[in-house]
Structure 1
Amino acid sequence: MAKENHGSKMGWFGWTILSVILVTIIGSFLFFFNIFNLDIKSIFSSEKNADGNEEPVSEETMEKVEEVQKTVGKDHTDIGKFVAEMHDFYNETTGYGRIASLDWEEQKDQANNILSTLDEKLSNVKDDALRADIERIKELAKKAINEQETEHVRNLHRMFHDLDIALNNYNGYDTIWKVTETLKTAN
């Protein structure tokens, strides 16, 4: 008598169905990543943990931020408004993984806007730390225009993020990137 071995073999039909399902899933992922210009790193990491130099906001840090807002921020409301506008722009164009698919023409236009605006406003800046931050922003904007590397745009976003905290009452944050001289003087 021949033994029947049920259960351990899927047969050609089972393998065909499994293969079709796997190919469909892989094809869908490839299609999705190509359509939205994503890479695997942008899905599994966020901007918050991209390079690990952020500082969780402590009670002491909050007090120092408030002190800077009352001094430097109060004396530079014009720059503060511009910083808030730029921070909003970078939140919209680089947040939630959008940094992986930047519109470089839009980024170049904004970088040129940053350069022309800050050239006008730099003479009114009295604080040395803020002046250094503005010079750094201008340098990053020039690099963003000429080199078109996402790292320059990310650094611009972080500069405006920290300056928005320092100059304005921006409270939509849980991270300080520690990239500005203005906030370093507060720490």
Structure 2
Amino acid sequence: MENADLDRTNNAGQGQEMQLQEKKRRSEKSKTIILTLVLSFFIIGGLGTWGYYSLFGPNSAASIDAPSDEELTEAEKSSGTALFKPTIEVPKTEIQRRINVIHEFWNSELGYDKWSKYNIDTHTPVLKDIEIDIRNKILPYVAGPLKVDIENALSKIAKSMSSESVEPLKGVHRIFHDLDISLNGYKASDYWDVTETGKWIKEEVKE
């Protein structure tokens, strides 16, 4: 009788141990599956982000070689397309300087992720002032593809104020960022390739 009780106790103990081992195996298997899924998520997410930026993100500005003033002037003459309409009071160097000033303005307004907290309502007076400055101090002195870019920037500012969305202003910032690189040799790590001026320079200066 005692032996029978001992056998039953041993069998019960072995059964419990086997159940514990089975639970442990299932737990480890579950952890392995979860870890695999998490790693897959990060890998796929990383590749997706890389793919997005490779298609829609900025290019490396290190590959952008801004033309010299002589190259720009020669390209304007040979192509018959002018970028600048300078006057005695506003020479080409002043037009270039004004483009840089506007670019720096947008850097201070939207750079370093400030755009994510930018409020159109509270900035409307400033936006109207900068729109007037661009319209009066830059637009009359540019031509060809550069005029198209400036008009595009003005259109985006107006759209931003009417829609109360900061998204168009990001486009304005990128336009002046690229123009500053293309026309002034501004040093930066990225180039958005969103201007007609940049495309024109590639065709006419870098052939």
Structure 1 length normalisation: TM-score? 0.61
Cα distance in 1, alignment partners of residues 116 and 125 from structure 2: 18
Report if aligned partners of 1:133, 1:181 keep a CA contact under 8 Å in 2: yes
Cα deviation per residue 1:99-152 (whole Å; 9 max; x = unaligned)?
A: 110032454233312321233235643530111111101101111221121211
The amino acid that maps onto 2:67 is E
1:66 counterpart residue number: 67
Distance 1:82 1:55, change over 3 A: same
RMSD between superposed Cα atoms in Å: 3.6
1:22 counterpart residue number: none
Distance 1:184 1:132, change over 3 A: same
2:163 aligns with one of 147, 154, 158: 147
Distance 1:113 1:162, change over 3 A: same
2:177 counterpart residue number: 161
The amino acid that maps onto 2:101 is E
- The alignment status of 1:137 with 2:157, answered yes or no, reads no
Identity of aligned residues (%): 25
Q: Secondary structure at the match of 1:149?
A: coil
Cα displacement (A) at 1:54: 2.4
2:195 counterpart residue number: 180
Q: Gaps spanning 5+ residues in structure 2: where? A: 1-48, 74-82, 203-207
Cα displacement (A) at 1:89: 2.1
The amino acid that maps onto 1:111 is L
Distance 1:181 1:147, change over 3 A: same
The amino acid that maps onto 2:59 is E
1:57 counterpart residue number: 61
| Larger Rg, first or second structure (1 or 2) | 2
Distance 1:186 1:52, change over 3 A: same
Report if aligned partners of 2:178, 2:195 keep a CA contact under 8 Å in 1: yes
Q: Which has more helix, going by share of residues? A: 2
Report if aligned partners of 2:98, 2:138 keep a CA contact under 8 Å in 1: no
Structure 2 length normalisation: TM-score? 0.56
The amino acid that maps onto 2:194 is V
The amino acid that maps onto 2:189 is Y
Alignment coverage as a number of residue pairs:
148
Q: Gaps spanning 5+ residues in structure 1: where? A: 1-44
